[in-house]
Each structure stands twice: as C-alpha cells, then as structure tokens.
Structure 1
C-alpha cells in the first residue's frame, strides 16, 4: 500500500507542477494517475488479507494441540494476495502452506511460506484438488481468471453436492465482486436457483470475516 500511495503522490506532483506552469497535462499522465488510484484502492485488500490470516492463525494457536484441532492458512504461494495470506500467518508466528504452480513465466514462492509446507504443482486441476480436499473454508479475495476458476469450481462442487462436508465460502470485497459477477442476474435468467446464493457469503472487513469463520468452524469442526 505504501508503494502504491507513493507512486500516486509522485504522479499528482507532476500534474500540479505542469498546471502551475500553465502547461497542458498529457493524457498519458492522466491515464497513469487513474491506474495509480486503482492500485491504491486495490492495495487495501492486501492489508486486509494479512490481517485476516493473522487473526485466524492466532485463534488457531489458542485452541491448543491436545485435541488435534488446528486450522492452517493456505494460499497459492505466489505474490500479491497469496503472499499476504502467508504473511499474516507469519506475523502470528504460525505455520502456513503454499501451493505453487509451475508456469512458463517466473513465479517464485513468496518468502512467508513455512519452508517444509511449500509445494509446487504442474497441473492446475491437481493443485485445486489439494486446495479443496483438506479445506474447511475458502476466502476469495479480488482476483482475475485464476481466482474465478477456483471460485466457480468450488461453487459447482457444492451445488452438485460433490463436496459433502461443510465448506464455508466467503467472497471478500462485495463492491468489487458485485461488479465482476452478477449473481442476481444468474438467478433472474434461471441458470442458477435462488438457494444457490446461500452457498457463499459476502464480507468486507477482516473482523467480519474472522468472526464468521470462527463461529462456523467452531460449530462444525470443533
């Protein structure tokens, strides 16, 4: 977030300088400013993911190990939001898992994954299996095609009851997601049932997400 804000301030400074000298501001610079504003807006999700992972990890540690009930944060192992999840667990001095994927372009595991819990997959389908099979909850932060792929596969498996266990699905950032996916329109056009909207829940703050997860995980798994 600091880097994104610093870049925006730098661009705004350039614009002010041009305006003070009575010179026109190039469209390219205005476009750069608009992009930087989006980056600042999106960067808050990184901080939120760090905080949520920290809260979950600290709560998990408080449960103790006597009954074997512990919850471990798992991410895709890469940068961005994936890194944020592992970082939050790291800040809480807990374990965290990274399920990396080998890609044509370089993607290194982030530095916050517990070393012995860092895994790399060649196939996406196998990676998704290990995301889902041991999971008790899924928190979907804003993302692109890969995130959508994972979200809709889980929702399909829940809808068709291929997943029989209780799986909590939280979609984080309602403003973003309601622009990206119009779930209500899917109901309107009859491609999903209204009850399918109960397969997930929108959340907008780390504490809201944490309290829901804590209560539901306690109810179903402790």
Structure 2
C-alpha cells in the first residue's frame, strides 16, 4: 500500500485563490489589495520586467524537465516555404502570370520544406531506438510555419514529442499544428526565447531563410566563438546557397574570423547528410 504522504505542506497559490474572495475585497479596497502574483496590471509594469524575464525562463524549463527533455536539435529557416502539395495547388489555381510566377517560386522552394520534414522524421526514428528518455534528441523550432512547421511535422508524424517556441508579434503568429500539446510556448522577449533555443541544443540545423534565420544563426555562432556555450555542430542545409549568401571563405582570408571558427560549421545538401553530421559528432548508435 502506497503511503499518502504530502509532497508539500503549503497550499498552491491556485488553491488559495480558489478558496478566497480577494477580487470582491479588492473592489472595496482598490487594486492595491490584489495579491501581487495575481495582479496582471502590476506584473505588466516596466519596474517588474526582471521578474517577467525570470518567469519566461522558468515556465518552459519546468515543462521540459517534467517531460524528461534534456536534448534538442534546433531547426531554423524561412517561415515562407510551403510543402510541395500546397505549392502545386497554388500553381494550379493561379489566376494570372504574376500569381503563376509566385507559385512557381513556391514550388521551387518546396524542396526545403520536404527536406526539413524528412529531417524531423530521421530524428524521431532515432528516438524510437532509445529506451531512456534522457538520451533522446527532440526537434525544437520557433513554432511557426515554413521550415519550422516542416521539422515539427516530420517528428510529429513519426509519433515523437516536438517543441515550438513561439513569439508574440504585432501580426499574430500562431503555433503550427505539429507541436506536441503542452510543448508550445509563447514568449514576449526575444532574448529569453533565444536562451531557450540554446539551453538544451545539441545541434543547430539551418535552412535558407531571411533576417530572423540569420539573426538566430549568428547568435549561436557568436556564443560558440566567445565560449559562452560549448561547441556544437552548426549544419547549414543547401551548401551552394549558404556559400553564396555568406562568404565565410572571404572572412577567413581577410582574417576577420579564424580557420578554427569554421570547424563547427558543416555544409550539406540533404536531410540525411545533416543527420549524419550530428550522429558522427556525438557518436550516436
């Protein structure tokens, strides 16, 4: 028979609030009578920003710990790419030349979506061979559409846990539907979101993307170069694209970065190659 011993003598704040009538009393005594942690207006003040930082750090961390998620592979890339089937449908319905041009561009770029989806599947397939949850690697993205959706989708369709770190924006970005319920997190602060990207990251996989993808990529490269985090593989998918848009060789030749800085960067063309880099780096079975 299991002893029914309490884990903690204290009531939770939720239990306490449910058992009291603080709101009714606040109407009599004013907003100052609200409990501090239940006062949204107080928590939104600029002076309380530091506490909000701590909350955005702590909430996802506790949820990930409770799921025994210790290791992630973070996938960055454009939010604009769509899957091949959707691109073909877009082309079929294009009403004019301009729409057909855009649809053809979407179709040309759809191979990136399909590659990220395949990569998510490869990672999930590895996890199925690991009986210990603490040895698994889980796909983590920014939680939006495009490459983020594709990587989450590949893992989700294979029955794996997937993580999305969404950000609140003026134009609302909703989480994609391939994030495990309970593992979709919403951030206000980019800095705390970035911190969560790297806290558990064991590899960074980056597909072609815009300003946001560049920001995320170079943030990680800077953290590694300045030894704020341990070295980890940074995998750039579509070698020709990356070697064209960023002249890493020129930076080395002009001694703006060291040759050693390039040892963590891996240029690949396929999802299988990206996964092989990570497997070799960590000597995975």
Flag whether TM exceeds 0.5 (same fold): yes
**1:5 equivalenced with 2:70 (yes/no):** no
Decide whether the 8 Å contact of 1:159 with 1:199 is kept in 2. no
Q: Deviations over 1:110-151 (max 9, x none)?
A: 111001111111111110100001111110111111100010
Q: In the aligned structure 2, how far is the partner of 1:104 from the partner of 1:63?
A: 41
Query: Counterpart in 1 of 2:3?
Result: none
2:264 aligns with one of 188, 199, 214: 199
Question: In angstroms, what is the RMSD of aligned CA positions?
Answer: 1.9
Q: In the aligned structure 2, how far is the partner of 1:50 from the partner of 1:74?
A: 13
Q: In the aligned structure 1, how far is the partner of 2:161 from the partner of 2:203?
A: 17
Shift of 1:33: 4.3
Q: In the aligned structure 1, how far is the partner of 2:146 from the partner of 2:196?
A: 21
Q: Deviations over 1:171-194 (max 9, x none)?
A: 111122222211112222321122
Q: In the aligned structure 1, how far is the partner of 2:252 from the partner of 2:102?
A: 33
Give the SS at the match of 2:201.
coil
Q: In the aligned structure 1, how far is the partner of 2:107 from the partner of 2:276?
A: 27
Decide whether the 8 Å contact of 2:266 with 2:277 is kept in 1. no
Q: Deviations over 1:5-43 (max 9, x none)?
A: 3434565xx8xxxxxxxxxxxxx82x5544333221211
Give the SS at the match of 2:182.
helix
Q: In the aligned structure 1, how far is the partner of 2:264 from the partner of 2:116?
A: 21
Q: In the aligned structure 1, how far is the partner of 2:253 from the partner of 2:189?
A: 35
Give the SS at the match of 1:115.
coil
Decide whether the 8 Å contact of 2:141 with 2:148 is kept in 1. yes
2:102 aligns with one of 19, 23, 35: 35
Query: Counterpart in 2 of 1:105?
Result: 171
Q: In the aligned structure 2, how far is the partner of 1:76 from the partner of 1:123?
A: 13
Decide whether the 8 Å contact of 2:233 with 2:277 is kept in 1. no
1:79 aligns with one of 140, 145, 149: 145
**1:139 equivalenced with 2:205 (yes/no):** yes
Higher relative contact order (CA 8 A, sep 6+): 2
2:136 aligns with one of 70, 77, 87: 70
Give the number of equivalent residue pairs. Answer: 202
Query: Counterpart in 2 of 1:211?
Result: 276
With the length of structure 2 as denominator, give the TM-score of the two structures. Answer: 0.66
Give the SS at the match of 2:283.
helix
